[in-house]
Amino acid sequence: MYPGSFDPITNGHLDIIRRGCTLFDHITIGVLNNEQKSPLFTVAERIEMIQAVVAPLAETTRTTIEVDSFEGLLVDFAKRKRANCIVRGLRAVSDYEYELQMAQMNRHMQPDIETVFLMSADTYSFVSSRLVKEICFLGRSVQPFVPPIVEARLQAKFGRQPRS
């Protein structure tokens, strides 16, 4: 289970999914339905973008990838999906404290599901969905940080024509 907000998916997320494919037979990407937090993209839009960018992986790996959304507790969703492992990406030390707290809490609630941390490539260690949205909103290209389809969707959200 690779859970997150994915608002939107970035090259950093994609890097973690690629790494996950070398370790797992099946990955469920769990998109948090957090409409109350006013995400930029709807769950349907986020799922569509993820499906588009993970599709090429199906041709290069034997791992099957499923994308689904969830509400409520992650461990309950993971249990429903029969996942035995939660994958989270670690970019920098600053991620660690929050991730440790979540992993310990999830372990407390569901001891049979292990959390595994994968380190993103250092190229993506500073990439986050939040910064990508801000940079795009303020008019700079986010092309190095997100797949092309995501950049196009961001441009469209902010009412700009895609670059040729």
Among 1, 5, 41, 154, which residue sits at the site for ligand PNS (rule: CB under 6 A)? 5
> Given 46, 88, 91, 153, which residue is catalytic?
91
Window 92-131: contact mask with ligand PNS (x via CB under 6 A): ----------x--xx-------------------------
CB of 107 to ligand PNS, least distance (A): 9
Pick one of 55, 58, 73, 116: the residue that binds ligand PNS (CB under 6 A): 73
Beta bridge partners of 31: 4, 69
108 is catalytic: no
Distance CA 104, CA 157 (A): 37
Long-range pairs for 151-155: beta carbons < 8 A, 24 or more residues apart? 153/8, 153/41, 153/45, 153/49, 154/8
28 DSSP 8-state letter: E
Whether the Cβ atoms of residue 5 and residue 34 lie closer than 8 Å to each other:
yes
Q: What is the contact surface with ligand PNS in residues (CB under 6 A)?
A: 3-5, 32, 73-74, 102, 105-106
